[in-house]
A = this chain, B = another copy of it.
Amino acid sequence: MDKKTFKKYGYQFVDWVAEYLDRVGEYPVCPDMKPGDIKQILPANAPAQGESLDDIFKDFKTKIFPGMTHWQHPCWFAYFPANNSPPSILAELLTAGMGAQCMIWETSPAAEELEVVVMDWLRKMLGLPEGMKGVIQDTASTSSLVALLSAREKATEFNSNIKGIQEPLVVYCSDEAHSSVEKGAKIAGFGTDFIRKIPTDPDYAMIPEKLEQRINEDLKKELKPCCVIATVGTTSSSAMDPLDQIGDICRNYGVWFHVDAAYAGTAAVLPEKRWMLKGIESADSFVFNPHKWMLTNFDCSAYFVKDPGSLIRTFEIHPEYLKTGVDREVKNFRDWGIALGRRFRALKLWFVLRYYGVEGIQGMVRKHISLAQFVKSEIDADPHFELMAPVPLSLVCFRLNDGRSDKELDQLNRKLLEYLNQTGQLHLTHTTLKGKYVIRLCVGTWTTDEKDVKKSWQLIQKKAQEILT
């Protein structure tokens, strides 16, 4: 494809993205699709001869796009947000255009150095301890696995890497921790039998006394406590584990302390929310995802570690074909995680942080929190609804409650959620809290404004009325 043609289509694609983002609120949030609907309209084989970009783009618009869910929709309140933003999209275009492979310093010096710089910007923005060093991973699942592996190696004096796992090592998290802890413990060879899910208090936060008790029980059984994973902003209800007390316990027992703030971490840019991270100086590692609530399109997970040496010792490899003359002076990020190949992800983060500035990001986060607090106050004021968890940030957990049994309420709320999502006007998801079915509403998409939240709340009230009568 020559330069002229690339420009021609490039402009068309830019126009499409511009129009899409401008009008994303006009689409039904989720497509009306059954499994197999798209598969059946696509050919079973790749074409023998190349096709025109006109035809491919047309098929994209008519066959693929109608099957997409719109995560950037202003009434996207499902899961946690996965924001992109104009500067992030534009930077991704440059990254793809250069096509550099940033596994080591020498294969793109600017990529390594910019990653070091912007990760330090993030560290300061969130008020993380001075010595912590950052690296970009793909997801928080991977980041937590990286933490578990570092913990495993440190607890075994870096011998598990050599001899395999030779004794049971125990992992602790709350019973509200993310599923990635369980997945990571499987992958790293701990086994789910050695995950202790510590009970939570009425606000769904880990009870530190129960953690210490459990560690002591394991020690009595001659099992080795290895890693504690605390969550700042759990997936179900954005509960906040008390880092300071948990950190003290980890220090006393010499256990790796990892903090998973995948969603909530971004809110630490606000001085008034910094309390969430009280005790963070005890953490050995910390993760939050700029690809959730910080306007940086997926993937971009920010992993910080107190002692990079133990991280590198866990992952380093030295094949001859990757050796360079500067290996002693630089950070070769291939040794900071699982994958060898690495995209130039620091570029989009740099674009985002500069374009919005710290105050711009603070403003957006404050707005989302205040909109969530508006929903909370509406729920408090409406006798048909029940708030199911505290709302420290932008996630509201609630259910419709007309006094039926919990089991009947589960059914009722499942039905309400279905009805709501079927309108295509908004998207919500659910969870369970202490066994009860709960609807989650998370305000966090960059396109979301006051009017979107108010309109959505009115719709929720209306559908609730319909379902009750």
Contacts and interface: CB of A to CB of B under 8 A. Distances in A.
A341 B139 contact: yes
A360 interface: yes
A63 B327 CA distance: 23
A161 interface: yes
Given A49-B359, A117-B42, A338-B145, A164 B187 contact: no
Chain A interface bracket (under 10, 10 to 19, 20 to 34, 35 or more): 35 or more
Interface stretch (A91-99, A128-136, A205-213, A460-468): A91-99
A186 B321 CA distance: 20
Contacts of A47: 353-354, 357-358
Contacts of A90: 6, 9-10, 13, 53
Given A13-B90, A341-B141, A319 B179 contact: yes
Given A90-B13, A160-B189, A183-B317, A138 B97 contact: no
A282 interface: no
Interface in A178-196: 178-180, 182-183, 186-194
Nearest to A235: B321
Contacts of A291: 341
Given A9-B90, A17-B93, 4 more contacts: A1-B87, A30-B106, A64-B114, A99-B297
A53 B351 CA distance: 8
Nearest to A440: B321
A97 B68 CA distance: 12
Nearest to A19: B3
11 contacts: A1-B85, A1-B86, A2-B22, A51-B357, A56-B87, A64-B110, A84-B97, A138-B341, A142-B338, A160-B189, A189-B189
Interface in A346-382: 347, 350-351, 353-360
Interface in A298-328: 298-299, 314-315, 317-322, 326
Q: Which 10 pairs of residues, A with B, have the shortest CB-CB distance?
A: A189-B189, A67-B110, A164-B191, A10-B14, A17-B97, A84-B99, A50-B357, A1-B86, A92-B96, A38-B113
Contact of A339 (B49, B72, B87, B138): B138
A194 B429 CA distance: 45
Contacts of A71: 98-101, 107
A56 B110 contact: no
A65 B283 CA distance: 35
A430 interface: yes
Contacts of A116: 39
In terms of DSSP, what is the predominant structure of the interface of chain A? helix
Contact of A113 (B1, B3, B67, B100): B67
A118 B82 CA distance: 25
A93 B95 CA distance: 10
A418 B390 CA distance: 62
Counting chain B CB atoms within 10 Å of each CB, the highest count among A6, A37, A190 belongs to A6
Contact of A161 (B1, B121, B191, B330): B191
A157 to B, nearest CB: 13
A263 to B, nearest CB: 12
Contact of A188 (B189, B235, B297): B189
A111 interface: yes
Interface in A150-196: 152, 160-165, 168-169, 178-180, 182-183, 186-194
B338 A338 contact: yes
Contact of A6 (B86, B98, B322): B86
B321 A236 contact: yes
B110 A66 contact: yes
A18 interface: yes
A36 interface: yes
B192 A161 contact: yes
A343 B171 CA distance: 29
A39 B117 contact: yes
Interface string A27-39: 0001101011111
